[in-house]
Amino acid sequence: MKIAIVGSGYVGLVTGVCLADFGHDVVCIDKDERKIAALEQGQIPIYEPGLSDLVASNVAAGRLTFTTNLASAVPSADVVFIAVGTPSRRGDGHADLSFVYAVAREVAASVSGFTVVATKSTVPVGTGDEVAHIIASTNPNADVAVVSNPEFLREGAAIDDFKRPDRIVVGIEDERARAVMTEVYRPLYLNQAPLMFTNRRTAELIKYAANAFLAMKITFINEIADLCEAAGGNVQEVARGIGLDNRIGSKFLHAGPGYGGSCFPKDTLALVKIAQDFGSPMRLVETTVSINDQRKRAMSRKVIAACGGDVRGKTIGVLGLTFKPNTDDMREAPSIDIIQGLLDKGANVVAYDPQGMEPARDMMDKVSFAKGAYEVAKGADALVLITEWNEFRSLDLDRLRETMKTPILVDLRNVYSHAEANKHGFAYSSIGRPLVENETLSLTDAAE
């Protein structure tokens, strides 16, 4: 099939390259001339494991091309995917649909013959109706079926998620689109991926409902972690104990500094606004958003407490900046609020991240950046582990201790154990886990 992808950001690029790898003829479109020029040279604008090689192989095979010219690519396409951004709108938190609607107008002016226009962007319920209206108004002769086909990609595992999905959701109002979208995803039949057809509005709601539920699950275990700290429980054992219940499941039950990234923060906020507009408020999601926002800042206070209540003039080393491992995405990352909280209290912050350094430089002008974990630790009064990159999971703790001014380790991802950290001379703090009596080590003892 001939497929056009409008928007060559994270979702559009991953979607395009994976569909090309299935054997479809795909053209990725973007107005950013520099981005398209870079892609044509094999330079990938985002970090996603395996993406660079997949782009190169499909470009070489002639199945994947890039262009800034929408009008030249759309007429021959059987399916046009809209995969542009829908960021939170400044001022009210609603999803900004201006990019989606602008694409709809351009596509309407260029389509030829029966075409399926599939919205990949995360959009509020009813957006598909408006896209269909825009296309019909712009070009009354356009023979178009507008469908909703939300993405469910995890950054850092997007290619595997696309090729081995839990489900594929397609919302249709025109039955002709069913056969077309079935053919698009036919290569996944071997994986027995459920292809779920619904009406368009249901598909739009599924995406928001899924992200909101996962965000609530993360927030729930974070609150349980706080209770564990107060009551002497162990959140990891609680998470395992409830996660073994098949009705609950073990995923997204890892306590930490709060969720971030490009999806959960904006999608939960957008769902709150959607629900309010329909007069059906979602109190659980509203509370989830509030708790998560407060938690990120609270983590800086946790670091300050571990440093004896005062970080003014002290050097705090930070390991990990991106909102999760295996991505360079800094959007809504917990590190932003945590670091700002430390800076506000007079700390000097030195940070390192395997992939997030460049985007972080643009938003953290008061932070110094190091070339590695051990350089971060040099002369530090405390070390804070924020993002659980693999290279931080087996650090030489003796080497860290020797280079630090004060061996204090605040582990916001529970990568290490109290016993292990204490054995190497660290005063150790984690999330939702008690200090076992024979593991307790005071800050005074650690500094000696």
DSSP codes of every residue in 360-403: HHTT-TT-EE-SSHHHHHTT-SEEEE-S--GGGTT--HHHHHHH
**Residue of 154, 146, 142, 144 lying closest to 123 (CA atoms):** 146
pLDDT digits (tens, 9 = 90+) for 258-268: 999 989 999 99
Q: CATH classification of 208-290, choosing from 3.90.1150.10, 1.10.1040.10, 1.10.3720.10, 3.40.50.970?
A: 1.10.1040.10
The pTM of the full predicted model, rounded to 2 decimals, is 0.91
Strands (DSSP E) contained in 200-337 are: 315-319
- Mean pLDDT value of segment 361-379: 96
User: Among positive and negative, which fits the CA dihedral 131, 134, 135, 137?
Assistant: positive
- Residue 49 half-sphere exposure toward CB, CA atoms < 13 A: 11
Average pLDDT over residues 73-80: 98
Q: Report the mean per-residue pLDDT for the chain.
A: 94
**Are 2-198 and 296-447 the same fold in CATH?**
yes
Q: What percent of the chain has pLDDT over 70?
A: 97
Q: Report how far residue 19's alpha carbon sits from residue 118's, in angstroms, rounded to the nearest whole number.
A: 14
Candidates 266, 259, 257, 280; CA nearest to 217 is: 259
pLDDT of residue 440: 41
Asked if 204 contacts 126 with a C-beta cutoff of 8 angstroms, the reply is yes
Look-up of token digits 């430390």 = 342
pLDDT over threshold 70, residue 339: yes
Domain boundaries, the chain: 2-198, 208-290, 296-447
Q: For domain 2-198, is the CATH number 3.40.50.720? A: yes
Confidence of residue 58 (pLDDT cuts 50, 70, 90): very high
Mean pLDDT value of segment 386-401? 96
Three-state SS annotation for 90-122: CCCCCECCHHHHHHHHHHHHHCCCCEEEEECCC
User: Of 8-17, 368-377, 437-446, where does mean pLDDT reach its minimum?
Assistant: 437-446
| pLDDT, tens digit, 9 for 90 and up, residues 197-232 | 999 999 999 999 999 999 999 999 999 999 999 999
Provide the annotated active-site residues. Answer: 263
CATH architecture of 296-447: 3-Layer(aba) Sandwich (3.40)
CA distance 184 to 179: 9
pLDDT of the residue at 439: 42
